């Protein structure tokens, strides 16, 4: 019996009820941070099912496996039935498995991750004899991915190519695509593009899914790229029932193709759309919410909203300044230790940073205090060498045309097939237009191989035949038999054996869970899931460790206490992001960096700690650092300044820029905007006639004068020498 409407809407705010109970047509839900968007989506699905919509007529799409699993679990708890909930890439992979032959592909295609794609690109560059100084593998792959995000194939790129460099990238793009076809493989971008191709070339397939999916729901719509937007628009083309949920203030993925325009221009793309804004925040304390809201309001390209909470203000946001990144790390570790001793679980505390390199000083400090922690952004489980090796064998069973898998395992473990023998096999395969595995099967036709190498290749051929004959009804059993057959553990060195055995056991344990969750999924489904798992999907909140992760990885999570380290100019906002022309303008880049900071801040429930250092060591270089302009945007009444290390003289480079202003501007008044309104207090907001508003970081007496160090929001940190008559109020 379907749940009653009263039960589905119980406990919802009026705005949430409006979104949940919306009828037919396009709906945009602008959901502020912590406003219960997952609850709205799941309750809307429950409302649809309770109103008579069949479960098979609903599809919900999100961006991580964790989010999809959570959404699916909540729907089942509400209505006792499940609906199709998946990531965009998983949804597209499913469609392509069903209809690959309509695109001239075999159903057993392999999904290449970035590492696989990078190896293909390296071979393409070598084969085309492109100059590696101009056409690095990273540059070529980024070029290909950028144009796939724009739904542009090699031929479209060729039409707009200008000069030698563009032509070289187009040649590489064309050759890369040819290699993928030869290997019956698709990369992540292809999963989206090939579905668009399928819908374009096979209108009957599109009509089938338009008929089936009466309601399409898309989570995190601000993170959709152009292909994802076009897929969503195509699916709702008959019934026009699309529910998009998102927050423009949390769009942080321009670098991977996300288009904020998809959400900002939603009403233009879906005429007649209703917009519902969720403004009540259930997550953060009052101080955290005020601080984060004040910061994000400096962005211009957004949908204005006023988040509010019934929760108390709670503890103020702690802002710490430290002599260097290692002092910063030690302070963070001590604070975390105190929180854990006070009863906060390690898994309810998180450390965020802009770049992975920033984690080292904090890791060092945590190790010194024996604090449990997990670096989420380190090598993921499915990127570990033993897992890569074993899944490559599995891929080769499903798809013998997968050259990348074959190259990885043909001599793993070592069986006497050296690099020169592999090159000769590939040279024999190329003129025939066959795969490397086909050349292995026809090893007798390969010239130049020694008798010993020919015997070793023959042994690999027999091994592949035996593996292909293994029963795949249980993935855990299949992996166990495969590991035994290739003698994977036996051929490891004594130093590697223990770690390798542990990783293999973990993989078999994962396979057992897969067998229980998807008993009909089989080998192909297992490989698909392994290929599409993300770093954050591998983090276990119950593991009893403090997660370390980048701000990008923190999206969608929440913790009792959050530490954001390295809140400094050129780090957050990051200089590379500001110099990147992908955003169009520096102002747009700054806005995205501010959104990233906002996302990090709004992950915190009760406590938020922001830290910066006067010097930072990255990649072996120690440089002077200035507080981020974003810190100056925080309201003074929500921030408490702490200085956990004694002041130390900053390197001369830190003052080089400031000294000019000490001399030039000593007669220009500084106006105090808040604080107690009467004195140059640390943390007070001030205004300068040339540099605008800022926040006082420190003051130092020089007789009747003061040296005032100010972080100006738009100009960075500067020092001013001021007399008593040169300070104004208001």
Higher local confidence (pLDDT), 44 or 107: 44
**Structure confidence by residue, pLDDT tens digits, 324-363:** 898 999 999 999 999 999 999 999 999 999 998 888 889 9
- 365 with 326: CB under 8 angstroms? yes
**Residue 219 is a catalytic residue:** yes
Residue labelled with tokens 């937007």: 229
| Strand duo 58-62 + 317-324: pairing | unpaired
Residue labelled with tokens 């640390």: 682
For CA atoms 198, 204, 207, 208, give the dihedral sign.
negative
Flag whether pLDDT at 278 surpasses 80: yes
Q: How confident is the model at residue 665 (pLDDT cuts 50, 70, 90)?
A: very low
Flag whether pLDDT at 653 surpasses 70: no
Q: How far is CA 436 from the centre of its chain?
A: 34
- State phi, psi for 186 to the nearest 5 degrees: -135, 145
Residue of 252, 323, 210, 339 whose CA lies nearest to 601? 252
Q: How confident is the model at residue 304 (pLDDT cuts 50, 70, 90)?
A: confident
- 564 with 353: CB under 8 angstroms? yes
Q: Residue 324 to residues 93, 613, 670: CA-CA distances in angstroms?
A: 47, 5, 29
Q: Which of 370-384, 502-516, 622-636 has the lowest mean pLDDT?
A: 370-384
Higher local confidence (pLDDT), 557 or 683: 557
**Residue 506 is a catalytic residue:** no
Flag whether pLDDT at 502 surpasses 50: yes
Give the model's pLDDT for residue 703: 59
Distance CA 328, CA 613 (A): 7
**Residue 603 is a catalytic residue:** yes
One of 250, 344, 358, 374 is an active-site residue; which one? 250
Q: Which of 154-163, 448-457, 583-592, 717-726 has the lowest mean pLDDT?
A: 717-726
Distance CA 395, CA 200 (A): 29
Residue of 660, 663, 115 whose CA lies nearest to 384? 115
- The encoded tokens of residue 713 equal 């929001």
Distance CA 354, CA 366 (A): 19
Give the model's pLDDT for residue 473: 75
Q: Residue 453 to residues 16, 285, 424, 445, 492: CA-CA distances in angstroms?
A: 68, 68, 11, 13, 22
Mean pLDDT, all residues of the chain? 87
One of 17, 37, 607, 629 is an active-site residue; which one? 37
What is the mean pLDDT of the segment spanning 80-106? 92
Q: How far is CA 328 from the centre of its chain?
A: 26
Distance CA 150, CA 310 (A): 43
**Residue 134 is a catalytic residue:** no
Give the model's pLDDT for residue 704: 61
Q: What is the model's pTM?
A: 0.82
Give the model's pLDDT for residue 716: 62
What is the mean pLDDT of the segment spanning 669-692? 71
Which distant-in-sequence residues (6+ apart) come within 8 Å of 82 by Cβ?
A: 55, 72, 75, 76
One of 152, 220, 328, 626 is an active-site residue; which one? 220
Q: Which of 96-105, 568-577, 653-662 has the lowest mean pLDDT?
A: 653-662
What is the mean pLDDT of the segment spanning 216-233? 96
**Structure confidence by residue, pLDDT tens digits, 520-556:** 788 888 888 888 876 555 566 667 899 999 999 998 8
For CA atoms 53, 55, 59, 61, give the dihedral sign.
positive
Q: How confident is the model at residue 690 (pLDDT cuts 50, 70, 90)?
A: confident
Residue of 331, 343, 307, 296 whose CA lies nearest to 609? 331
Q: Which of 203-217, 327-341, 651-665, 682-696 has the lowest mean pLDDT?
A: 651-665
Q: Extract the runs of DSSP E, i.e. beta strands, from 484-618.
A: 546-550, 559-564, 604-618
**Residue 211 is a catalytic residue:** no
Give the model's pLDDT for residue 8: 84
Distance CA 311, CA 284 (A): 8
- 395 with 405: CB under 8 angstroms? yes
Q: Which of 271-275, 295-299, 444-448, 557-561 has the lowest mean pLDDT?
A: 444-448
Distance CA 648, CA 646 (A): 6
One of 113, 219, 537, 658 is an active-site residue; which one? 219
Q: Extract the runs of DSSP E, i.e. beta strands, from 578-704.
A: 604-618, 621-624, 639-642, 670-672, 685-688, 692-702
CB atoms < 10 A from the CB of 503, how many?
17
**Residue 220 is a catalytic residue:** yes
Percent of the chain at pLDDT > 90 equals 60
One of 283, 302, 388, 603 is an active-site residue; which one? 603
Q: How far is CA 10 from the centre of its chain?
A: 34
Give the model's pLDDT for residue 532: 82
Higher local confidence (pLDDT), 514 or 727: 514
Distance CA 582, CA 501 (A): 44
């Amino acid at each position: 019996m379907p749940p009653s409407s009263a039960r589905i809407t119980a406990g919802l705010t009026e705005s949430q009820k409006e979104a949940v109970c919306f009828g037919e047509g396009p709906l945009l839900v602008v959901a502020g941070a912590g406003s219960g968007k997952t609850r709205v989506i799941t309750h809307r699905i429950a409302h649809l099912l309770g109103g008579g919509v069949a479960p098979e007529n609903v599809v919900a799409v999100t961006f991580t496996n964790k989010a999809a699993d959570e959404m699916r679990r909540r729907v089942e708890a509400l209505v006792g039935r499940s609906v199709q909930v998946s990531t965009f890439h998983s949804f597209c992979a499913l469609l392509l498995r069903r209809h690959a032959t309509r695109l001239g592909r075999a159903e057993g295609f392999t999904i290449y991750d970035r590492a696989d794609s990078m190896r293909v690109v390296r071979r393409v560059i070598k084969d085309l004899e492109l100059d590696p100084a101009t056409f690095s593998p990273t540059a070529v792959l980024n070029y290909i991915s950028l144009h796939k995000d724009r739904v542009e194939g090699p031929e479209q790129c060729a039409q707009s190519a200008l000069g030698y460099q563009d032509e070289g990238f187009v040649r590489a793009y064309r050759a890369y695509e040819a290699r993928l076809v030869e290997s019956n493989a698709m990369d992540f971008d292809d999963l989206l593009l090939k579905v668009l191709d399928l819908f374009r070339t096979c209108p009957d397939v599109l009509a089938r899914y338009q008929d089936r999916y009466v309601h399409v729901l898309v989570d995190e719509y601000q993170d959709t790229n152009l292909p994802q937007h076009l897929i969503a628009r195509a699916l709702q083309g008959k019934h026009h029932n699309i529910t998009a949920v998102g927050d423009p203030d949390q769009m942080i993925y321009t670098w991977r193709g996300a288009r904020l325009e998809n959400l900002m221009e939603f009403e233009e793309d879906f005429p007649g759309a209703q917009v519902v804004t969720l403004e009540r925040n259930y997550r953060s304390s009052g101080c955290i919410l005020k601080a984060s809201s004040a910061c994000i309001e400096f962005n211009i390209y957004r949908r204005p909203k006023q988040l509010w909470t019934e929760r108390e203000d709670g503890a103020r946001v702690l802002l710490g300044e430290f002599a260097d990144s290692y002092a910063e790390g030690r302070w963070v570790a001590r604070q975390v230790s105190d929180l854990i001793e006070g009863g906060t679980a390690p898994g309810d505390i998180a450390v965020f940073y802009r770049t992975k390199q920033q984690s080292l000083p904090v890791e060092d400090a945590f190790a010194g205090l024996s604090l449990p922690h997990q670096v989420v952004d380190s090598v993921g489980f499915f990127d570990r060498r033993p897992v890569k090796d074993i899944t490559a064998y599995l891929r080769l069973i499903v798809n013998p045309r997968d050259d990348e898998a074959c190259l990885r395992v043909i001599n793993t473990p070592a069986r006497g097939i050296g690099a020169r023998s592999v090159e000769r096999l590939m040279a024999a395969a190329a003129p025939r237009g066959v795969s490397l595995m086909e050349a292995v099967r026809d090893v007798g036709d390969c010239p130049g191989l020694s008798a010993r190498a020919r015997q070793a290749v023959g042994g690999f051929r027999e091994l592949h035949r035996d593996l292909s004959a293994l029963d795949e009804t249980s993935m855990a059993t299949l992996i166990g038999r495969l590991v035994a057959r290739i003698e994977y553990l036996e051929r490891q060195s004594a130093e590697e054996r223990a770690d390798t055995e542990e990783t293999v056991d973990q993989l078999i344990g994962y396979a057992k869970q897969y067998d229980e969750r998807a008993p009909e999924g089989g080998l192909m489904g297992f490989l698909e899931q392994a290929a599409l798992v993300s770093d954050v999907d591998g983090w276990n909140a119950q593991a009893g460790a403090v997660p370390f992760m980048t701000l990008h990885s923190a999206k969608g999570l929440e913790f009792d206490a959050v530490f954001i380290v390295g809140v400094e100019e050129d780090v957050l906002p990051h200089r590379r992001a500001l110099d990147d022309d992908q955003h169009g303008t520096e102002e747009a880049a700054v806005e995205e960096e501010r959104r990233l900071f906002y996302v990090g801040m709004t992950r915190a429930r009760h406590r938020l700690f922001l830290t910066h250092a006067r010097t930072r060591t990255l990649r072996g270089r120690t440089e002077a650092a200035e507080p981020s302009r974003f810190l100056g945007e925080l309201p003074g009444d929500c921030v408490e300044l702490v200085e956990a290390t004694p002041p130390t003289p900053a390197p001369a480079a830190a003052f080089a820029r400031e000294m000019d202003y000490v001399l030039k501007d000593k007669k220009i008044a500084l106006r105090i905007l808040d604080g107690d309104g009467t004195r140059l207090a640390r943390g007070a907001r001030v205004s300068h006639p040339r540099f605008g508003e800022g926040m006082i970081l420190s003051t130092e007496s020089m007789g009747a004068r003061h040296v005032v160090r100010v972080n100006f929001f738009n100009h960075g940190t500067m020092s001013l020498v001021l007399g008593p008559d040169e300070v104004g109020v208001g």
